[in-house]
């Protein structure tokens, strides 16, 4: 079924312990009966009707809201309401699994679906006596001989089918890996990648490669591996160790010149091949264009990188990683007002995405909010700077850098006592932290670790 609005919706869906009566808007389950909103009920029927199928966000929105233009937030709210009704947890799903950067799928198998006009069949009473002809056939030797042969054939075919399925699932590494396994590996790989430290990036590289070992043309794995290779080339030009160097700004890495030398040059060449392959296989995938935009920018082709990031945002208006990269490139081109706009758009998109991807969003939303506050502060816009630091503190209370930034703004605004109280509370509750006292002592701009533009 490609779209539920092209065929009759099922009037009744039974999936695991859940029984949905669509026309009544009623869902029966372990906790009893509950009423679902029409769109929430439709989403349940849609997902449960094809268990295991990955529905993209675009497909779901086109089917649930045919002929209407709705945002990703409408779908996210509908999914959240359905999960709440099912008692499901997005971080450890039992029923609805989020497929990162793609959409959703129903995990269990649907037990039965009754359509609007089920065919009628004769009913046989279980305790009825068999007819004389049936009884005679039942006692014939030929009956048992044929039955035995038939059962043997069924069992034999079943075993052969199982053996064949196991053979086709066998991977190059000697294990078994299904498409669902690949999806889970991709989710974990993405989560590692978005932590932006060396160990997690190396873990992401390994996981993306495992998927490609089984499915060499998987566009998500191609784009992911391109991202991780590019990040390795930009951030870590030297081997791990006490003297290891890390660049957090694309501008600093480009200025250092190490990406034009080995091994970074070869890494970027390979990353570009992977990203171009991802775009070729999935031309409408925002993640593929984002990956290509990142590697082009790292190679110094800022104008073309800008185009690819813009294309990614056109395909997915909530693609906050592409927005951050776009803003970073705009910064390199001295288009700072535009850059700040896209940083703020990315922050808003993170708000929408947090429920589905907390591991990817949490750390970098806080860092991005501080970055925006720093930019307003360095531009002398104290009111906006204060607003952004406080905004970060609403989602990350006692964040040392947001606290330090707010303290600096309070001092600049003539309220050093409030700044001192803020920093004293920080010290009392989480211990001494150099960021706050240093910033509170002076209203000058700072250069803390999160004041750098984040790289995606």
339-378 pLDDT, tens digit each: 999 999 999 999 988 888 888 898 889 999 999 999 999 9
Using the 8-state DSSP alphabet, how is residue 131 labeled?
A: P
DSSP state letter for 25 = T
Would you state the CATH architecture of domain 177-353?
Alpha Horseshoe (1.25)
Task: Tell me the pLDDT of the chain averaged across its residues.
Answer: 80
143 close to 86: Cβ distance less than 8 angstroms: no
- What architecture (CATH level 2) is domain 4-114? Orthogonal Bundle (1.10)
Instruction: Tell me the two tokens of residue 96.
Output: 């609805």
Give me the pLDDT at residue 207, please: 96
437: Cβ–Cβ under 8 A, 6 or more apart, which residues?
423, 427
Q: How far apart are CA 162 and CA 184, in angstroms?
A: 23
How many C-beta atoms lie closer than 10 Å to residue 17's C-beta? Answer: 13
- CATH annotation of 366-456: 1.25.40.10
Residue with the two structure tokens 């004769």: 122
Question: Can you give the pLDDT at residue 53?
Answer: 87
DSSP run (H or E) holding 26:
strand 26-29
pLDDT band at 167 (very low <50, low <70, confident <90, very high): very low
DSSP 8-state symbol, 2: -
366-456 matches 4-114 in CATH topology: no
| pLDDT for the residue numbered 456 | 55
More confident residue, 284 or 443: 284
CA dist list (Å): 362 to 268, 351, 355, 368: 28, 9, 10, 10
pLDDT band, very low/low/confident/very high, at 31 (cuts 50, 70, 90): confident
Q: In sequence order, which residues have a C-beta less than 8 Å from that of residue 316 and are 6 or more positions away?
A: 72, 286, 322
Confidence of residue 200 (pLDDT cuts 50, 70, 90): very high
Name the more confident of 438 and 276.
Answer: 276
Instruction: State phi, psi for 87 to the nearest 5 degrees.
Output: 70, 30
φ/ψ (deg, to 5) at 343 = -60, -45
List, for residues 255-307, the tens digit of each pLDDT value.
999 999 999 999 999 999 999 999 999 998 899 999 999 999 999 999 999 99
Give the pLDDT band (50/70/90) at residue 129: very low
**Cα 70 to the center of its chain, rounded Å:** 20
Distance between CA 229 and CA 246 in Å, rounded?
15
Confidence of residue 12 (pLDDT cuts 50, 70, 90): confident
Domains of the chain by residue range: 4-114, 141-169, 177-353, 366-456
Give the pLDDT confidence of 384-405 residue by residue, as tens digits: 999 999 999 999 998 999 999 9
* Strand pairing report for 26-29 and 96-99: unpaired
- What pLDDT shows up at residue 238? 87
The answer to whether residues 46 and 60 touch, using CB atoms and an 8 Å cutoff, is yes
Has residue 3 got a pLDDT over 70? no
- CA dist 108 and 252 (Å) reads 49
- As given in the structure block, the two tokens for residue 386 are 């204060």
CA distance 198 to 253: 16
pLDDT of residue 389: 97
Q: Using CA atoms, how far apart are residues 149 and 131, in angstroms rounded to an integer?
A: 25
Looking at the chain, the whole-number percentage of residues with pLDDT higher than 70 is 76
Instruction: For residue 12, give the H/E element and its range.
Output: strand 12-15
How would you class 124 by CB atoms within 10 Å of its CB: exposed for 0-12, middle for 13-18, buried for 19 or more? exposed
Q: Where are the beta strands (DSSP E) in 37-102?
A: 55-56, 96-99
Q: Which uninterrupted H or E stretch holds 86?
A: helix 72-86
Q: Is the pLDDT of residue 383 over 80?
A: yes
pLDDT, mean of residues 236-249: 84
pLDDT of residue 168: 39
Report pLDDT digits (tens) over 135-161: 444 445 554 455 454 555 444 544 444
- Round to whole Å and give the CA distance between 283 and 73: 24
Please give the pLDDT value at position 110. Answer: 44
Least confident of 123-132, 172-181, 202-211, 357-366: 123-132
Terminal CA-to-CA distance of the chain, rounded, Å?
Answer: 37
Residue 347's nearest CA partner among 370, 329, 368 is 368
| CA dist., res. 259 & res. 257, Å (int) | 6
């Amino acid at each position: 079924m490609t779209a539920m609005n092209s065929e009759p919706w099922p009037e009744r869906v039974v999936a695991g312990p859940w029984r949905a009566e669509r026309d009544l808007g009623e869902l029966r389950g372990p906790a009893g009966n509950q009423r679902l909103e029409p769109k929430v009920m439709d989403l349940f029927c849609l997902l449960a009707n094809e268990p295991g199928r990955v529905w993209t966000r675009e497909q779901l929105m086109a089917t649930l809201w045919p002929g209407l233009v709705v945002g990703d937030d409408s779908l996210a709210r509908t999914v959240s309401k359905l999960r709440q009704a099912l008692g499901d947890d997005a971080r450890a799903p039992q029923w609805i699994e989020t497929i990162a950067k793609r959409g959703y799928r129903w995990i269990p198998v649907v037990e039965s679906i009754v359509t609007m006009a089920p065919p009628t069949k004769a009913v046989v009473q279980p305790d009825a006596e068999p007819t004389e002809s049936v009884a005679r056939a039942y006692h014939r030797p030929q009956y048992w001989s044929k039955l035995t042969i038939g059962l043997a054939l069924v069992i034999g075919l079943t075993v052969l089918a199982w053996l064949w399925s196991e053979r086709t699932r066998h991977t190059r590494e000697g294990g078994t890996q299904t498409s669902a396994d690949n999806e889970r590996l991709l989710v974990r790989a993405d989560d590692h990648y978005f932590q932006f430290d060396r160990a997690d990036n190396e873990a992401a590289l390994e996981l993306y490669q495992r998927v490609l070992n089984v499915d060499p043309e998987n566009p998500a794995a191609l784009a992911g591996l391109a991202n991780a290779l590019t990040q390795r080339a930009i951030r870590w030009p030297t081997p791990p160790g006490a003297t290891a160097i890390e660049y957090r700004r694309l501008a600093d890495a480009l200025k250092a010149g190490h990406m034009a030398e080995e091994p970074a040059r070869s890494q970027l060449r390979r990353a570009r091949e992977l990203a171009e392959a991802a775009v070729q296989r999935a031309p409408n995938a925002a993640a593929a264009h984002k990956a290509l935009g990142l590697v082009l920018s790292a190679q110094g082709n800022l104008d073309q990188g800008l185009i690819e990031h813009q294309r990614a945002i056109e395909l997915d208006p909530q693609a906050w990683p592409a927005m951050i990269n776009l803003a970073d490139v705009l910064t390199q081109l001295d288009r700072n007002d535009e850059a700040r706009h896209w940083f703020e758009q990315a922050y808003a998109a993170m708000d929408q995405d947090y429920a589905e991807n907390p591991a990817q969003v949490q750390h970098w939303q806080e860092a991005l909010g501080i970055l925006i506050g720093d930019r307003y502060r360095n531009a002398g816009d104290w009111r906006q700077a204060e607003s952004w630091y406080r905004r970060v503190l609403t989602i990350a209370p006692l964040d040392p850098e947001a606290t330090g930034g707010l303290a600096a703004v309070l001092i600049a605004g003539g309220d050093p006592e409030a700044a001192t109280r803020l920093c004293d509370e920080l010290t009392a509750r989480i211990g001494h932290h150099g960021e706050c006292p240093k910033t509170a002592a002076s209203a000058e701009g700072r250069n803390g670790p999160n004041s750098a533009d984040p790289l995606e």
